Amino acid sequence: MTAALKLISHKLCPYVQRAVIALNEKGVPFERIDIDLANKPDWFLKISPLGKVPALSIATDGGEVTLFESNVICEYIEETRAGAKLHPADALTRARHRAWMEFGSAILSDLWGLETTTDAAIFESKRQALTAKFARVEDALGDGPFFAGASFSLVDAVFAPIFRYFEVFDALGDLGIFTATPRLRAWRKALAERPSVKTAVGPDYPALLRAFLERHNAYLLKQPA
């Protein structure tokens, strides 16, 4: 039987991982279709106006409807599927969570610069920007283990793929980004151990990310180990 949900994805995309984690947390079956973003198929461009992953195709009585943008997809999953609640019930707390999800996207923007630049000055600028942003996150955290305490939320689904980058980066050298953030380090560890997070990527993820860095001749690869 064909899955009612089809998630169009890429193996390295952190935004895809958000949706995968949310689906896994809800226990929702779905079909994952990985594409090559350097050679996007025509059928994908027809259903994704921005030409980005993830895209979620939903089977309806009138045919397939496709959603794009990861936070939109996560919100849809939360609102329409049974299982664990990934957003707080309180409207103000829920809005605060959405704001931190957006902050996670801002962190990803700096991460992109850190991992793709070949320039030492730009690299250091992005390293400092990330250190400052993570310090803000540290101030927002409580006792854990997750962002909202004992309950796993969509904020966790956003930050887990961010931390996953550093599983590879840490092997290349100490960037010093998490030195002064003990609560964040504990949060990162808790997320790495979560089954929904572990299964959001394949076992080839570290090798694929390393190959990505090599293709970009990333300054990150020149760090002292």
Question: What tens digit of pLDDT does each residue of 207-221 get?
Answer: 999 999 999 999 999
Res 3 pLDDT > 70: no
Q: How many domains does the chain have?
A: 2
Query: Could you tell me the two tokens for 215?
Result: 């293709």
- Provide, rounded to the nearest whole percent, the portion of the chain with pLDDT above 90: 94
Query: How confident is the model at residue 63, as a pLDDT?
Result: 85
Query: How confident is the model at residue 61, as a pLDDT?
Result: 87
CATH of the domain at 74: 3.40.30.10
Q: Which residue in 7, 8, 13, 56 is the catalytic one?
A: 13
Query: How confident is the model at residue 124, as a pLDDT?
Result: 97
Please indicate, yes or no, whether residues 110 and 179 belong to a single structural domain of this protein: yes
| CA-based nearest residue to 183, from 139, 131, 129, 132 | 139
pTM, two decimals, is 0.95
Q: Which domain holds residue 96?
A: 91-222
Residue 155 near residue 98 (C-beta atoms within 8 A): no
pLDDT tens-digit series, residues 59-94 = 988 889 999 999 999 999 999 999 999 999 999 999
The rounded distance, in Å, linking the Cα atoms of 118 and 69 is 29
**Active-site annotation holds for 74:** no
| 85 located within any domain | no
